[in-house]
Amino acid sequence: MYKMSSKPLISAKEIEERLDSLAAEIKPCGFDVVVPLLSGSFIFAADLCRRIASPELQVSFIRASSYGNSTQSSGQLQISGLEKLDIKGKKILLVDDILDTGITLSKVRETLKACGPSEIRTCVLLDKSARRTVEFNADFVGFSIENKFVVGYGLDYAENYRTYPEIWTLEEDYG
Ligand code: XMP
């Protein structure tokens, strides 16, 4: 069994402030399409998109699933939503909640490259670099965190905890 930490790892205010500074870095790049990976990045991507809004900026969702109901990766990755993606010749910002082993983003980036965009850059809210098993660096990182399982602000454990506005760590509950 798991329980949430007694206080947030990253508060809602800290997230808001970092979103402002991230958006200030990202907006001048002039991306054509933001591609958020569902489900974990849905809150982060929505908050980021509102800060980099422009009339022509498009958003196109894809889904990459690998975790199931566990805190450990199954190693299997399924990517869906590619059939609706229109990114040929476009400048893409691929957005995910967390960069962990790096397997998800490196596989998704390779898959998107095959669709012929002019450029793909990546943005993650959280980076757990201690867990990396493949070489991968995101172009934009919200926060670097230590090797703890985190939930909230879109991140889940067994579909729970997603709706919290803060990031919490999940700890084993021996009680
Ligand atoms: P990889 O290992 O492929 O993992 O970089 C990326 C995906 O794994 C999930 N993940 C987490 N989800 N808390 C979560 O709620 C975590 O601490 C965590 N670490 C990895 C997440 O879906 C991410 O997109």
Question: Could you tell me if 173 and 3 are in contact, meaning their C-beta atoms sit under 8 angstroms apart?
Answer: yes
Residues classed as catalytic: 100
SS3 assignment, position 111: helix
Residue 126, ligand 1, Cβ within 6 A: no
Average pLDDT for 131-151:
96
Concatenated DSSP letters for 68-83? TTSSS--S--EEE-GG
The atom number, within ligand 1, closest to the CA of 133 reads 2
DSSP class of 157: B
pLDDT in tens, 41-78: 999 999 999 999 999 999 999 999 765 555 555 567 88
Q: Is the pTM of this model over 0.75?
A: yes
Concatenated DSSP letters for 36-62? EEETTTHHHHHHHHHHS--TT-EE--E
In the reported structure, the alpha carbon of residue 56 is separated from the centroid of ligand 1 by a whole-number distance in angstroms of: 30
Domains and CATH numbers, the chain: 12-68+75-146 (3.40.50.2020)
Residue 102, ligand 1, Cβ within 6 A: yes
Cis peptide bond prior to 39, omega within 30° of 0:
yes
Average pLDDT for 151-172:
96
Question: Could you tell me if 113 and 120 are in contact, meaning their C-beta atoms sit under 8 angstroms apart?
Answer: yes
Residue 101, ligand 1, Cβ within 6 A: yes
Place of tokens 């082993």: 101
* pLDDT recorded at residue 155: 97
In the reported structure, the alpha carbon of residue 175 is separated from the centroid of ligand 1 by a whole-number distance in angstroms of: 26
- Among 119, 115, 125, 101, smallest CA distance to 37 is for 125
Average pLDDT for 133-157:
97
Residue ranges of E strands in the chain: 2-4, 33-38, 58-59, 62-65, 78-80, 91-99, 119-127, 140-144, 150-151, 168-172
* pLDDT recorded at residue 174: 77
